[in-house]
Amino acid sequence: MWALSANRRLLLEVLGSEHSSSSASSTSSRAKKVEKLPTFQEELALLWPRVSDPASEPPTAIAVRDGALGEFLGWSATYLPEFGALSGYFRVAPRREIQQALGSATTPGLGEWNGAAVGLIFGEIMASTTHARAEVLSPVLCSTAASFAMARGLALAYPADLVIGITDSWADVRRASQQRERALDLASIRSAWGALLVASGTARSDSLFAVESDDVFGAALGQIRTTGRVSDRLWSELTGSAPSLATAHEAMTQSREARVRWLDDSLEGLVRAGGSSPTLAAFLVGYTLAQLAPSSFRMLDLVESALERAPGSAIWYGAVSGVLEPREMLRIGGGLGYRLLRDLLRHEPLLSRPSSDICAAEFLTLSQTESSSMSIVQANPGRLQVELLPCVSTTLSWSQGRSESKREASVDDLDRVRSLLMRARSDIERIGAELDVDLGPKRAKKRAPKRKAAKEKSKRRKRS
């Protein structure tokens, strides 16, 4: 790649702004060919790909001194207004993130944890969106989840602290754009993802968890991947040696009917075993459900009362199911999991033009101004792609200058209506089956007498 240390005046010259006095070719020709991002004294580092001629076109990425990104983007909105959102044309990020992205995996991959990552996405949506069901999950709805962005970060081999930190940027842009509030709290999402990062070897447990014994969940996922279940010793530790729960693994080897009865009898005990830790209660319920019937989110309908008290159960159910049956998890929704993997593992070079409409830092900067002055070119009307980390983005419902809470229907709204309609249809079919009657229209039978009368009339005419 080519790199040029620059200040703001030099950036204006390189971009040929009306505020500059020098030509772009005379300045960008000073760029140097480098193998890695060097340490510069100036505020900015302008970057070009290897195959590009620095003097012939603008840079593709701009690395900004750490801690100065927000102020720089505020300045660019004044002096480079012709670009609208600067980060929609250049990849703009703090120097540390650019450096991490340059050292990340050239070929994205999730390895043996792809099922767990997809399960976390499904579980978050099921826990966060009212009336959501597996049948109505869609790529767009899934791309709005924090877990989708975190899975992308993991696939790109970002450090664990940056992957966990994605939740902060995700929450900030949703709040700034007035998106509908999700039911599942960020702590539940971070805890489940922290366990996956520990189990996958991406992070040490003591580097992520500062309270309780949440690091034990990473060990639990590792045991589930190896043996299909947590050890008796770990289960006893998690449940506080509750006698009523000691027979859980034995019960899960019995017939389906016996397992359902055990779950019904023990559900309250699982929630109580969590004590003052909502995360522990959610894990116990999610893990037990996955042992009963993995990769079947319909099971969540059986434990609605427990989900209200431990809402994170759905995301843990997705994680454990994805570890137990990764292929089945990917087949959910007619192969939706495979479609998500396609998006999560897509190749997007750091020094290519960004595929998102704007980066999170610039969106937050512009959102502090009057909404009528925001000018963001959107690839898809009604949706906004916001980059949270280089090559990691999330989807927002957005109409130019207006958020979903004002006038535009959101992705969540459409999927919620579709979910309700499908649930109503399913209930009608179930009631019809129980009554052994056909609840469909009877138009053919109503028209039959008319056709018979017409035939009789035709015969009488022939006789006459």
Domain that holds residue 434: 411-463
Residues 36 and 97 in one domain: yes
Domain check: are 93 and 200 in the same one?
no
Same domain, 156 and 271: yes
Same domain, 102 and 115: no
Contacts 24+ apart (CB under 8 A), 341-345: 341/110, 341/114, 341/118, 343/139, 343/143, 344/108, 344/110, 344/117, 344/148, 344/151, 344/152, 344/155, 345/108, 345/109, 345/110, 345/155
Residue at 447: amino acid letter: R
Selection from 282, 396, 317, 350 nearest residue 45 by Cα: 350
pLDDT at residue 23 greater than cutoff 70: no
Same domain, 140 and 275: yes
Question: Does any domain span residue 266?
Answer: yes
Residue 235 has pLDDT above 80, yes or no: yes
pLDDT > 90: what percent of the chain?
43
Residue 377 confidence (pLDDT): 84
The mean pLDDT value of the chain amounts to 82
53 belongs to a structural domain: yes
Residues 146 and 185 in one domain: yes
Q: Distance (Å, rounded) from C-alpha 462 to C-alpha 377?
A: 73
- pLDDT score at 370: 56
Q: Quick one: 97 and 137 in the same domain?
A: no
User: Is 60 exceeded by the pLDDT of residue 178?
Assistant: yes
The rounded distance, in Å, linking the Cα atoms of 373 and 192 is: 39
Q: In this predicted structure, what is the pLDDT of residue 229?
A: 93
- DSSP for 327-377, please give it: HHHHHHHHHHHHHHHHHHT----TTSPPSSSEEHHHHHHHHTS-GGG----
At 433 the three-state DSSP class reads helix
Q: How many angstroms separate the CA atoms of 123 and 297, rounded?
A: 8
Q: Same structural domain for residues 301 and 450? A: no
**Chain Cα centroid distance, residue 276:** 28
406 belongs to a structural domain: no
In 3D space, the residue among 401, 405, 408, 400 whose CA is nearest the CA of residue 379 turns out to be 400
User: CA-CA distance, 75 to 19, in Å (whole number)?
Assistant: 13
User: Tens digits of per-residue pLDDT, 130-151?
Assistant: 555 666 789 999 999 999 999 9
Q: What is the pTM of this model?
A: 0.82
The answer to the question of residue 9 being in a domain is yes
Q: Which residue has the higher pLDDT, 431 or 380?
A: 380
Q: Does residue 73 sit in the same domain as residue 197?
A: no
pLDDT digits (tens, 9 = 90+) for 389-418: 999 999 999 876 544 444 334 455 555 566
| Residue 38 burial by Cβ neighbours in a 10 Å radius (0-12, 13-18, 19+) | exposed
Q: Hey, what are 54's tokens?
A: 């620095």
| Residue 140 tokens, joined | 């767009």
Structure tokens at 307: 């989900």
Q: Tell me the torsion sign for CA atoms 207, 211, 214, 219.
A: positive
Q: How many domains does the chain have?
A: 3
DSSP 175: H
How does DSSP assign 105-165, residue by residue? -SS---GGGHHHHHHHHHHHHHHHSTT--GGG--HHHHTTSHHHHHHHHHHTT--HHHHHH
pLDDT in tens, 34-78: 888 878 789 999 999 875 566 678 899 999 999 999 999 999 999
**Residue 382 resides in a domain:** no
Q: What per-residue confidence (pLDDT) applies to 423?
A: 65
Parallel, antiparallel or unpaired: strands 382-389 and 358-359 = parallel
309 and 231 in a single domain? The answer is: yes
Q: Is residue 384 part of a domain?
A: no
Residue 400 belongs to some domain of the structure: no
Residue with tokens 């999330």: 394
Are 123 and 294 in contact by the 8 Å Cβ rule? The answer is no
Q: At what angle do helices 114-128 and 313-324 cross, to 10 degrees?
A: 160
Whether 458 shows a pLDDT value over 80: the answer reads no
401 inside domain: no
pLDDT at 419: 60
Query: Which tokens hold the place of 406?
Result: 């004002």
Q: Are strands 358-359 and 91-94 parallel, antiparallel or unpaired?
A: unpaired
Query: Do 173 and 254 sit in the same domain of this protein?
Result: yes
The verdict on 157 and 248 lying in the same domain is yes
For 194, phi and psi rounded to 5 degrees? -60, -40
